Amino acid sequence: MRILVIGSGGREHALVWKIAQSPSLETMWCAPGNAGTERERIPQSGRTVENVAIGAEDLDGLLAFGKAHKPDLTVVGPDNPLALGIVNRFEAAGLRIWGPNQKAAQFESSKIFSQEFMERHGIPTARAASFDQAEPAKAFARELQGQCVVKADGLALGKGVLICHDPGEADRAIHAILEDRAFGEAGSRILIQELLVGREVSLHAFCDGNSYHLFPTSQDHKRALDGDRGLNTGGMGAYSPTPFLTAEELLEARRQILAPWQEGCKREGIDYRGILYPGLMITAQGPKVLEFNARFGDPETQVYLRRLETDLVEIMEASIDGCLREVSMRWSEEASTCIVIASGGYPGSYPKGKPISGVSDADQLDGIKVFHAGTRSQNGQIVSSGGRVLGVTALGDSLESALDQAYRATQKISFDGAFYRSDIGAKAIEAMS
Ligand code: AMP
Ligand code: GLY
């Protein structure tokens, strides 16, 4: 089989690494990929993965590549190409592609669409309203005593969400998104949700248009600094499983969230094939949905794919063909964790092109796999090229041993300005002891 993977982050390196193990694989391309994807080797053919210099949002370029090389399967990592309708365009050209189509991807590309869908189908979420004018928006925020979250409707590189604690803060957030267009046209409409309090966890489910397979639980760490301080980021580290979602809560999430979501999709003619990744807050009233994503989470994918024992290509094929019920997903009993090493300044501006050392030393440690995110090769040297640079993953008999090993490996890696959180999984360890 010949497979094209689209994207260039830690999630895509993890996808490339896992897909490379598929018994049916001969050739793999990654567009545009990173220094890690092009170092992966396909055991069956002995070939390395080839990076192709086409950006994940260059749909014309990707389609031209697809038509020229005819991959048997294309796998989409990030949200933007899905929102732009890459799945519809590949399918129209007779090319097999995995991911939700443009209508289905609206669960992520429009927060207002998602909110209204949840309200139509009785899915527990925050109290909310949507606006395209500042004055009524400010009035609604005052009704919530300013304890609210102001969200740009569209995609904004994961940044279009402002958390507010008083009416003044809410007014400024509304002004910034709606009037100053801080997130561009993504903010021409906004969603204001009440501020929910509780523990945040991620769910992932493979979907095939008729049924879904739920993954084990995981937890990300969104804030940049230890103790959940600092700015929101794409995610600074993750681990799986998490003790913060009990078996009963997971059952409740299936009953109250996934079942009505699936039924709602059927009733509204939404053919959802791909990953559904709901972000949940476990509140005193039970799990509530903060948002839906239409793709694999990052860094969650890095911890999940270390635990997944089943051939990923087999599951993706079943997800496209509507026969997920015929495959089972087997997960290792081991705990899995990922520590993200970021560039100094992230999630604000940061320098690029810093030479990175110690990756292969780290990779040689027991249970370790280092996934690349913002890296590229420059004359054979790996240099930084993004905010989140590497994801150091470890498997272990317990969360504690996985974390110990991951931090041991992380310490071997260095580049100018590198930083990472030193408390990934710490609250889970505390809760379990
Ligand atoms: P989103 O992109 O919608 O998931 O929002 C980004 C982050 O903002 C989430 O991961 C949460 O930490 C936080 N957040 C979003 N919505 C809410 C809410 N209604 N209440 C509290 N925190 C929220
Ligand atoms: N881990 C956060 C995200 O993928 O959106």
Give per-residue pLDDT as tens, 393-412. 999 999 999 999 999 999 99
Please name the residue ranges forming H helices in 241-397.
247-253, 259-267, 300-307, 312-321, 359-363
Q: Does residue 192 have its Cβ closer than 6 Å to ligand 1?
A: no
CA of 293 to the centre of ligand 2 (A): 8
- Reply yes or no on whether the pLDDT at 157 is more than 80: no
Q: Does residue 234 have its Cβ closer than 6 Å to ligand 2?
A: yes
Instruction: Report the pLDDT value the prediction gives residue 339, as an integer from 0 to 100.
Output: 98
CA of 116 to the centre of ligand 2 (A): 22
Instruction: Report the pLDDT value the prediction gives residue 247, as an integer from 0 to 100.
Output: 87
Across all residues in the chain, what is the average pLDDT? 96
Instruction: Report the pLDDT value the prediction gives residue 307, as an integer from 0 to 100.
Output: 98
Nearest ligand to residue 78 Cα: 2
Q: Does residue 297 have its Cβ closer than 6 Å to ligand 2?
A: yes
Q: Does residue 91 have its Cβ closer than 6 Å to ligand 1?
A: no
β-sheet bridge partners, residue 125: 289
CB–CB of 4/65 below 8 Å? Answer: yes
- Shortest-distance Cα residue to atom 4 of ligand 2: 297
DSSP assigned state of 337: E
CA of 133 to the centre of ligand 1 (A): 22
Rounded CA-CA distance 10/227 in Å is 23
Instruction: Report the pLDDT value the prediction gives residue 330, as an integer from 0 to 100.
Output: 97
Instruction: Report the pLDDT value the prediction gives residue 351, as an integer from 0 to 100.
Output: 97
Q: What is the mean pLDDT of residues 60-85?
A: 98
Q: What is the mean pLDDT of residues 340-365?
A: 97
Q: What is the pLDDT of residues 23-43, one digit of tens each?
A: 999 999 999 999 999 999 999
- Reply yes or no on whether the pLDDT at 182 is more than 80: yes
Residue 255 neighbours by CB distance under 10 Å: 10
Rounded CA-CA distance 117/263 in Å is 11
Q: Does residue 196 have its Cβ closer than 6 Å to ligand 1?
A: yes
Q: Is 185 helix (H, G, I), strand (E, B) or coil?
A: helix
Rounded CA-CA distance 242/428 in Å is 7
Q: What is the mean pLDDT of residues 377-386?
A: 96
Instruction: Report the pLDDT value the prediction gives residue 333, as an integer from 0 to 100.
Output: 97
Q: What is the mean pLDDT of residues 257-286?
A: 96
pLDDT confidence band for 192 (50 / 70 / 90): very high
Instruction: Report the pLDDT value the prediction gives residue 102, as an integer from 0 to 100.
Output: 98
Return the ∠ at Cα 106 (arms to 389 and 65), rounded to 5°: 60
Percentage of the chain exceeding pLDDT 70? 100
Q: What is the mean pLDDT of residues 57-73?
A: 98
Percentage of the chain exceeding pLDDT 90? 93
Instruction: Report the pLDDT value the prediction gives residue 433, as an integer from 0 to 100.
Output: 85
- Shortest-distance Cα residue to atom 6 of ligand 1: 161
DSSP assigned state of 49: P
CA of 235 to the centre of ligand 2 (A): 6
Q: CB-based burial of residue 53 (10 Å sphere; 0-12 exposed, 13-18 middle, 19+ buried)? A: exposed
Q: Which of 159, 293, 302 to mutate to test the pocket of ligand 2 (most atoms within 8 A of CB)?
A: 293
Q: Which atom of ligand 2 is nearest to the CA of 11?
A: 4
CB–CB of 38/377 below 8 Å? Answer: yes
- Reply yes or no on whether the pLDDT at 257 is more than 80: yes
pLDDT confidence band for 159 (50 / 70 / 90): confident
Q: Does residue 289 have its Cβ closer than 6 Å to ligand 1?
A: no
- Reply yes or no on whether the pLDDT at 246 is more than 90: no
Q: Does residue 280 have its Cβ closer than 6 Å to ligand 1?
A: no
Instruction: Report the pLDDT value the prediction gives residue 269, as an integer from 0 to 100.
Output: 97
- Shortest-distance Cα residue to atom 4 of ligand 1: 291
Task: Give the least confident one: 90-94, 227-231, 314-318.
Answer: 227-231
Contacts of 184-188 with C-beta under 8 Å, sequence gap 24+, read: 184/156, 185/154, 186/152, 186/153, 186/154, 186/155, 186/156, 186/160, 187/152, 187/153, 187/154, 187/156, 187/160, 188/132, 188/153, 188/154
Q: What is the mean pLDDT of residues 171-200?
A: 94
- Reply yes or no on whether the pLDDT at 220 is more than 80: yes
